[in-house]
A and B are shown apart, each in its own frame.
Chain A
Amino acid sequence: MTGLRRLSEGGRIDRHRPVRFEFNGKNYAAFSGDTIASALLANGESLTARSFKLHRPRGIISAGIEEPGTIVELLDGDASANQPATIVQATDGLRIKSVGCWPSPKLDFGGINQLFASMLPAAFYYKTFFWPSWRLYEPLIRRAAGRAFAPRCPPDGGRYEARNWHCDVLVAGAGPAGLMAALTAARSGSRVLLADQGMEAGGSLLDQIVEIGGNSAEEWVADTVAELSAMENVVHLQNSLVWAYREHNLILVCERDLHREGILERNWRVRAKRVVIATGSTERMLVFPDNDRPGIMLASAVRSYVNRFAVRPGTRAVVVTNNDSAYSAIRDMLSAGIEVAAVVDSRESVSETVSRGTGGIELLSGHEIARVFGRRRVRGVSVMPIEGRGEQHIDCDLVAVSGGWNPSVQLWSQSRGALRYDEALAAFVPGKAAQPAVCAGAAAGDFTLEEAFMGGARVGANIIGEPELAHGMKIPAVDQEPPYRIQPIWHARSASVRPHSFVDILNDVTLQDLHIAMREGFRSVELMKRYTTAGMGMDQGRTGNMAVISAIADASRKSPGDVGVTTFRSPTAPVSFGSIAGIREASVALPYRHTPVTEWNIEQDAVMYEAGARWRRPGYFPRPGETMQDAVNREARAVRESVGVYDGSPLGTFEIKGKDAPRFLDMLYTSSFSELAVGQGRYGLMLSDDGLILDDGVSFRLGKYRYLASTSTAHADAVYRHMTKFLAIERPNWEVWIADLTSQWANATICGPLARKTLSALGTDIDISRKGFPFMALREGTVAGFPARVARVSFTGEVSFEINVRPRDMKALWAAVMEAGREFGITPVGSETSHVLRVEKGFLSTGHEVDGTVDPFDLGMGWVMSRKKSDFIGKRSVFLRRKSGKPRRRLVGLLTLDARRVLPEGAPITNGGRKEPTEGFVTASVWSAVNERSVALALLEDGRDQLGAEVHIRLPDEVIAATVTSPCFHDPEGKLLRG
């Protein structure tokens, strides 16, 4: 059989370069230039897949990107899911399997679904699996449904990359029109990018045998490609799918088959001034019962297989058509030695010029298909007159179908260009443009070769604004073709009465499904698509959409133009996530930020966390044998009893200066900064104008017009944006400059009762006495010999010195601190311990207590709302909201009755612990080493009026009782931190 399938000569395959590939575990021979589909056909395989939902036997239906029949998954180093077998090149050693069946298309256990097909109608899943929850069923259904799995790990055959590009003209498609357009534009010197998804240029010319100017089409293509590649202003890509058309002419192109460069796929992000869409046209299926049987193919596909791949997909064919184009296919089938048993043309008459060269073949005009015989391979059809009765049986092993042609307007539709229905072509063609793009050739509805050449030249010249250039282009001479004529008949009569008349073969949607949906009231083409899934597959319904549209049109007595067409979206065909992401995996897209002591932390075996804004910070420093809780207790006790040190470098730091800096800070923060003494600092909340808390921090006055503002680590970027936006938009005349110093200063913060002794041992020329350097002051001088700014702020509730130095001095300072503190038992503390210490003090943390609902009063911080200032950002809204007098959640402390029980953070508080609306929730909860018990903070409705009351925290399987307290569990008077 194998030998018979492959023609002895012709085609664009290289018979001197055999390749072998594996399909579903079996080895196949092919030639270089074959696709998987052509190779399988050459090997006599007709049953190559099982369908997605019903597991019906399927074969190869098309020869291109529109393939709805056989989808394959590439394995190993080529790993890629859901590729049409018709565009995957057969290469040596390639391993692939078909999707949708297990273990193979011939022995498929899911095939049992066919028995229940009548029970799997449109929207079956929506209607059946909604109780108790779709989520319960989804994994099972996903497994049963036939789609490829995403590769588990990235293929090892190379890497993905992205390339940015700019050009004057991007031409999508290297067929006759695309090549002509590219050539015309390129000759004027414009920067041109020509991209085509095929293995070689030529488009539809590859599928037919035509003479161009007395030579073969191959020669014209080769000459044109050679001229283009000699031009420096042209980039020509093959194996490159133009998959997305975005705003402002951003075009995405996925370039494949770059193995020799060690690159799997390259995604081009092209900003094109103008775009020529020359993506050709796609043949449509016709709807009749069992129109999905293996052996039923598009007529254009049969033509492509015999001419381009030198493969006979069958020996005895019946051709079914409603238009003229099938007759060219018949002539090519005859020359390839395929017997054509009959032509079933739904039209009443066919002109002699169209049917020339097909004499002797039985022409059944005014007929249609009634039935198809054969399950795993078509064995015959029965035909009947459209007006009348009587079936006639015809034996065949191939049915070539032509339902007419659609311009391939996917990219045009993505560019938001309008589509209009053309009655003569019975297809949707490009209408008004929305972006600087033009369609050319068959994509514009110019279906003859001569029209394509002329259209390409015209569009190529017009698009660069030099229309006269088109006259200078030599339009290749081709044989006159009769104009394309079609009389649309979309569905055979038998399709309405017999099941399994598919409108969307890939998604297993039948005409009956559409009728059910229409009986349920659906009429909008967009809703029909989503409800029945017709047209939602990765083929984007290229071969079937018109059948759906016409079914709706028939039922609602409208024209297809009034029903309209669904919007095509990117990608135009499956594109791997790898190529979209490129090299932007996490470490590249979101690199960690390091402080000068990150390395030291790692050397100490600290458990490293990611802390806000991608900083890598130590979580805790476990000693051998210690659990996390042991380590945190030890670190916390050190700060409360002796001295601890942490690296506070990631905190946001901004220097704000200029004549208007004081009133800028007054505007920005709740507290008043214009009257602050130089060298002093003040705590403030930063609100947004809707009265919610954006950030908090201490700002110091460095001089009359200079301030140093600190922000939380995670919000530094948001605060910077907030500040610059206010200045740029609301106060463009204010003289204020902001410098982001976050990474310009690093700091070691020493804290605890022995902090002052440690600083003294470090050696400093700053007066660090209680009187000389009070709480909330800032001093400049040297520490351990390094120039330093030391600030007395405290996030721990203990005496604290924040020693800021230049980043280059930080490592040495850190070493000096550890050395000087050794006699006091200095302990490095991580973010876990910082969290414990701040919860013990009731200091707020943005993201825990500050969650986008609370205002300063809720947190018991009404004192930061300056009364002296008439306005600051957020003031109006805070007071406006409080005017309503509605109950608000307020910050409180919680002490569990069982002192050993640590509450989960985020746990809800409800009335009596019952299943009722929540009264609040636990914002933070820790084991407090200094109190030797669990403590927690919570936001509780009217919580400040409930001090001493008992509340109940509701967990999934228990209720925990706790007493409401004020939100501070250590040194409530704040004596220690001022000490």
Chain B
Amino acid sequence: MLEIECPFCGSRDEREFVYGGPAGPRRPDDPEGVSDTGWVDRLIVPENPLGPVLEHWWHLRGCGEWVTIRRDTQTHETNEARREQCR
């Protein structure tokens, strides 16, 4: 079980959070302007790197905020917790 640094509540157990998926690029303002393959890739071909990733967690059983953390998928080292924002 990870320990996640919530910018508002401090270090809390993972079980207080709900995983919110990888932090990808922002959703385009005009989806019609994106090519078909570009749109499909964005939705269903996520990166799955070994190493640092940015990801969203929802502090549902805490302050209720969405936070973004950088976590190393190999070592679980986490840092850079912050209130949500996009890459």
Q: B84 at the A/B interface (Cβ < 8 Å)? A: yes
CA distance A721 to B60 in the complex (A): 9
For B26, list chain A residues within 8 Å (CB).
Answer: 729-730
For B20, list chain A residues within 8 Å (CB).
Answer: 721, 725, 729
Contact with A along B18-41 (1 / 0, CB 8 A): 101001001101111010100110
> Could you say which of A434, A689, A729 has the most chain B C-beta atoms within 10 Å of its C-beta?
A729
CA distance A759 to B4 in the complex (A): 52
Q: A728 at the A/B interface (Cβ < 8 Å)? A: yes
Which of A246, A721, A728 interacts with B1 by CB under 8 Å?
Answer: A246
- Across the interface, do B43 and A248 meet the contact criterion of CB distance under 8 Å? no
For B13, list chain A residues within 8 Å (CB).
Answer: 271
Which of B36, B64, B76 interacts with A248 by CB under 8 Å?
Answer: B76
- Across the interface, do A725 and B39 meet the contact criterion of CB distance under 8 Å? no
Beta-carbon nearest neighbor of A248 in chain B: B3
Contact with A along B49-67 (1 / 0, CB 8 A): 0000000101010001110
CA distance A728 to B60 in the complex (A): 13
Q: A870 at the A/B interface (Cβ < 8 Å)? A: yes
Which of B32, B56, B75, B86 interacts with A871 by CB under 8 Å?
Answer: B32
Contact with B along A681-694 (1 / 0, CB 8 A): 00000000110000
CA distance A504 to B63 in the complex (A): 51
- Across the interface, do B30 and A871 meet the contact criterion of CB distance under 8 Å? yes
Distance in angstroms from B70 CB to nearest chain A CB is 14
CA distance A880 to B40 in the complex (A): 9
Q: B79 at the A/B interface (Cβ < 8 Å)? A: no
Contact with B along A485-514 (1 / 0, CB 8 A): 000000000000000000000000000000
Which of B18, B32, B44 interacts with A876 by CB under 8 Å?
Answer: B32
Tell whether A728 pairs with B39 under 8 Å between CB atoms, given A250-B1, A689-B27, A875-B31. no
- Across the interface, do A248 and B66 meet the contact criterion of CB distance under 8 Å? no
- Across the interface, do A434 and B43 meet the contact criterion of CB distance under 8 Å? no
Q: A782 at the A/B interface (Cβ < 8 Å)? A: no
Q: A918 at the A/B interface (Cβ < 8 Å)? A: no
- Across the interface, do A725 and B27 meet the contact criterion of CB distance under 8 Å? no
Q: A724 at the A/B interface (Cβ < 8 Å)? A: yes
For A729, list chain B residues within 8 Å (CB).
Answer: 20, 23, 26, 56, 66, 84-86
Which of B43, B75, B84 interacts with A689 by CB under 8 Å?
Answer: B43
Q: What range describes how many residues of B lie at the interface? A: 20 to 34
Which of A250, A721, A732, A877 interacts with B58 by CB under 8 Å?
Answer: A721
Distance in angstroms from A167 CB to nearest chain B CB is 14
For B29, list chain A residues within 8 Å (CB).
Answer: 871
- Across the interface, do A730 and B27 meet the contact criterion of CB distance under 8 Å? yes
Tell whether A877 pairs with B32 under 8 Å between CB atoms, given A247-B1, A248-B1, A724-B66. no
For B76, list chain A residues within 8 Å (CB).
Answer: 247-248
Tell whether A880 pairs with B36 under 8 Å between CB atoms, given A246-B1, A721-B18, A732-B84. yes
- Across the interface, do B43 and A690 meet the contact criterion of CB distance under 8 Å? yes
CA distance A887 to B27 in the complex (A): 29
Distance in angstroms from B64 CB to nearest chain A CB is 8
For B43, list chain A residues within 8 Å (CB).
Answer: 689-690, 877
CA distance A730 to B58 in the complex (A): 14
- Across the interface, do B31 and A725 meet the contact criterion of CB distance under 8 Å? no
For A250, list chain B residues within 8 Å (CB).
Answer: 1, 3
- Across the interface, do B85 and A732 meet the contact criterion of CB distance under 8 Å? yes
CB under 8 Å from chain B, chain A span 875-909:
875-877, 880, 883
CA distance A271 to B15 in the complex (A): 14
Which of B58, B75, B78 interacts with A725 by CB under 8 Å?
Answer: B58
CA distance A506 to B62 in the complex (A): 46
Q: How many residues from A make CB contacts under 8 Å with B?
A: 23
Beta-carbon nearest neighbor of B65 in chain A: A728
CA distance A732 to B82 in the complex (A): 13
CA distance A250 to B12 in the complex (A): 12
For B64, list chain A residues within 8 Å (CB).
Answer: 724
CA distance A728 to B23 in the complex (A): 12
- Across the interface, do A271 and B3 meet the contact criterion of CB distance under 8 Å? yes
Contact with B along A412-453 (1 / 0, CB 8 A): 000010000000000000000010000000000000000000
CA distance A659 to B20 in the complex (A): 26
Contact with A along B68-86 (1 / 0, CB 8 A): 0000000110100000111
Distance in angstroms from B72 CB to nearest chain A CB is 11
Beta-carbon nearest neighbor of B66 in chain A: A728
For B30, list chain A residues within 8 Å (CB).
Answer: 870-871
For B78, list chain A residues within 8 Å (CB).
Answer: 248
CA distance A355 to B21 in the complex (A): 64
For A248, list chain B residues within 8 Å (CB).
Answer: 1-3, 76, 78
Distance in angstroms from B81 CB to nearest chain A CB is 13
Contact with B along A719-751 (1 / 0, CB 8 A): 001001100111010000000000000000000
- Across the interface, do B39 and A876 meet the contact criterion of CB distance under 8 Å? yes
For A724, list chain B residues within 8 Å (CB).
Answer: 58, 64, 66
Distance in angstroms from A417 CB to nearest chain B CB is 11
- Across the interface, do B39 and A880 meet the contact criterion of CB distance under 8 Å? yes
CA distance A246 to B3 in the complex (A): 11
CA distance A246 to B2 in the complex (A): 8
Distance in angstroms from A106 CB to nearest chain B CB is 46
For A271, list chain B residues within 8 Å (CB).
Answer: 3, 13
Distance in angstroms from B79 CB to nearest chain A CB is 12
Beta-carbon nearest neighbor of B26 in chain A: A730
CA distance A434 to B31 in the complex (A): 43
CB under 8 Å from chain B, chain A span 355-399:
none
For A875, list chain B residues within 8 Å (CB).
Answer: 31
Distance in angstroms from A198 CB to nearest chain B CB is 27
Distance in angstroms from B34 CB to nearest chain A CB is 8
For A871, list chain B residues within 8 Å (CB).
Answer: 29-32
Distance in angstroms from B44 CB to nearest chain A CB is 7
CA distance A250 to B76 in the complex (A): 12
Beta-carbon nearest neighbor of B27 in chain A: A730
Distance in angstroms from B41 CB to nearest chain A CB is 12
Distance in angstroms from A431 CB to nearest chain B CB is 15
For A883, list chain B residues within 8 Å (CB).
Answer: 36
Distance in angstroms from B9 CB to nearest chain A CB is 15
CA distance A605 to B58 in the complex (A): 41
CB under 8 Å from chain B, chain A span 700-725:
721, 724-725
For A876, list chain B residues within 8 Å (CB).
Answer: 31-32, 34, 39
CA distance A434 to B84 in the complex (A): 28
CA distance A882 to B8 in the complex (A): 44
Distance in angstroms from B16 CB to nearest chain A CB is 12
For B36, list chain A residues within 8 Å (CB).
Answer: 880, 883
For B58, list chain A residues within 8 Å (CB).
Answer: 721, 724-725
CA distance A721 to B34 in the complex (A): 26
CA distance A877 to B34 in the complex (A): 11
For B1, list chain A residues within 8 Å (CB).
Answer: 246-248, 250
For B27, list chain A residues within 8 Å (CB).
Answer: 689, 730
Tell whether A725 pairs with B3 under 8 Å between CB atoms, given A434-B75, A880-B39. no
CA distance A730 to B20 in the complex (A): 13
> Could you say which of B27, B36, B39 has the most chain A C-beta atoms within 10 Å of its C-beta?
B27
Which of A246, A690, A728, A870 interacts with B84 by CB under 8 Å?
Answer: A728
CA distance A8 to B73 in the complex (A): 59
Distance in angstroms from B32 CB to nearest chain A CB is 7
Contact with B along A214-254 (1 / 0, CB 8 A): 00000000000000000000000000000000111010000
Distance in angstroms from A242 CB to nearest chain B CB is 16
Query: What are 21 A-B contacts defined by CB distance under 8 Å?
Result: A246-B1, A248-B3, A248-B76, A248-B78, A724-B64, A724-B66, A725-B58, A729-B20, A729-B23, A729-B26, A729-B66, A729-B84, A729-B86, A730-B86, A870-B30, A871-B29, A876-B32, A876-B34, A877-B43, A880-B39, A883-B36
Could you list 8 further interchain pairs (A-B, Cβ under 8 angstroms) beyond the known A247-B2, A434-B75? Answer: A247-B1, A247-B3, A721-B18, A721-B60, A729-B20, A730-B86, A870-B32, A871-B32
Hey, which bits of chain A sit against chain B, CB under 8 A? Answer: 246-248, 250, 271, 416, 434, 689-690, 721, 724-725, 728-730, 732, 870-871, 875-877, 880, 883
Q: Which 6 A-B pairs rank lowest in CB-CB distance, beginning with the nearest? A: A728-B66, A876-B31, A248-B3, A728-B84, A247-B76, A730-B27
